[in-house]
Amino acid sequence: MNKLFLIIGLIIFPLIVFGQSFNKNELKAFADYENEKYSDVLDSLDYLLQANQKPELYLLKAQCLYELKKYSDAMDICVKLDRIKPRFSSSLKLKLNMELNNTENAQLALNENLNSTYKLSLNELLNSEEFSGIYAINLDQMALSGDYFSQTEKQLYQVERLIDKSHFSQALFIIDEIINRKWDTPDAHYFKSIVLVHENDLRGAKNAINSAIILKKSKAKYYIQRIHILSELEEYDLALTDVNKLIRIETYNIDHYIQKADLLFKANYFDEAQELTSKILEILPNNPNLLYLSSKSNYKNSNYLEALLDINRAFEFKTSKEFYELRGDIYSATGTYKYAVQDYSMYLDIDPRSGEIYAKKGLARFNLGDKKGACSDWVKAKRYGSYDAVVFLEKYCNNQNP
């Protein structure tokens, strides 16, 4: 029986990790919105909505019209959307009515939102720039004076503000009081997880976010938090399972797909990482982080020319120490040690205490015939904790010590 379950698990796990629909045209519309290409999005949506009248697509259209200051047109879409998915656009209607200076309808929209499953948090309502207009028409007082938010929710708002100010001990004191009084408060466990991450207690943070997800499985931010923790703990297969759940909750967030590609790479699923990265690059061809992932996947699959082309394109848009390390690794793998040394040196200009990079740089210099320079680098690498450098020093440098 146990053997049967193992076989079933081996069959199902790849489907859990890799199987996921990928609608390029729809995702591109949302990605273009994030890049403020509002007119392009509207053109795309005219076509997409003919095939499928999804509420998410209608809301995206209304949001684009809002950004283009076509407030009346956006409101018309919201009214239509109410017939498809009631209250789904309530927060956008609040913003629209504030822009249209319609205080009465803004009050109605706020009431509608705060009595819906799409309810804004107090922090979103009182501290985000997009709702800053509520103060001019006293909607902040309306939200705080009614029964919209419980005392616990108001305490959680206080916790969130303390975390934003890095007052973690004070935040944890309130969190523990809430949990002791009302354990089944998922946001309390979520905020506790955030605090514990800042205190470098990853195991405790994982237990806390697990409690939040047990209590409420539909919150995207809970999975985002747990994926971060699992990644730090290098539990990549579990993180992949979570990112698939996250994508089911927020299907149109392109960042989740990018994160999935990164996790596939970290879990050593290089072919799958490359396949997904290539799909996302069709939507975001100039995204340097995607180009970096594509380069890493090609490098791991020994496709060095493609890896070099990708990382050089990434450098056109961004520089980072990780980019320099990867290009240095590609040059080392192809025997172009002179350029590898240059890139490792650029990394060390940014982070001069990396033992691993000093070790790599020393090996590249050794392969160039610069034994003295190599041994000097390995001495520094050993000082900063590189085990490889210890091996190289013993083998090539007559046990030189710092």
Closest listed residue to residue 119, CA positions, set 155, 153, 73, 145? 153
Q: How confident is the model at residue 6 (pLDDT cuts 50, 70, 90)?
A: very low
d(Cα 238, Cα 246) in Å, to the nearest integer? 12
Q: What is the structure's pLDDT at 402?
A: 47
> Residue 93: is its pLDDT beyond 90?
yes
What is the pTM assigned to this prediction?
0.86
Radius of gyration of the chain (CA): 26
pLDDT at res. 270: 87
**Residue 356's pLDDT band (boundaries 50, 70, 90)?**
very high
| 39/141 same-domain check | yes
For residues 44-59, average pLDDT: 94
Q: What pLDDT is attached to residue 14?
A: 46
C-alpha to C-alpha distance for 29 and 61, rounded to whole angstroms:
10
Indicate if 88 and 175 belong to the same structural domain. no
For the cut 60, the answer to whether the pLDDT of residue 5 exceeds it is no
What's the rounded mean pLDDT across residues 220-234?
A: 97
Please state the domain count of the chain: 2
pLDDT exceeds 60 at position 214: yes
Together in a domain, 161 and 129:
no
Q: Please, what is the angle between helix 202-215 and helix 186-198, to 10°? A: 160
Q: Give 398's pLDDT tier (boundaries 50, 70, 90).
A: confident
Q: Which of 195, 261, 196, 259 is nearest to 227 (CA)?
A: 259
For residue 327, what are the CA distances in angstroms to 241, 281, 306, 369?
Answer: 31, 20, 12, 21
Is there a contact between 323 and 314 (Cβ–Cβ < 8 Å)?
yes
Please determine, for residue 50, whether its predicted confidence score (pLDDT) is greater than 70.
Answer: yes
CATH of the domain at 36: 1.25.40.10
Query: How far apart (Å, rounded) are the C-alpha atoms in residues 230 and 58?
Result: 35
What does the pLDDT look like over 258-304, one tens digit per residue?
999 999 999 999 889 989 999 999 999 999 999 999 999 899 989 99
DSSP per-residue codes, 318-360: ---HHHHHHHHHHHHHTT-HHHHHHHHHHHHHH-TT-HHHHHH
Range(s) of the domain holding residue 242: 150-251
Q: Specify whether the CB–CB gap between 209 and 224 falls below 8 A.
A: no
Q: Same domain for 88 and 205?
A: no
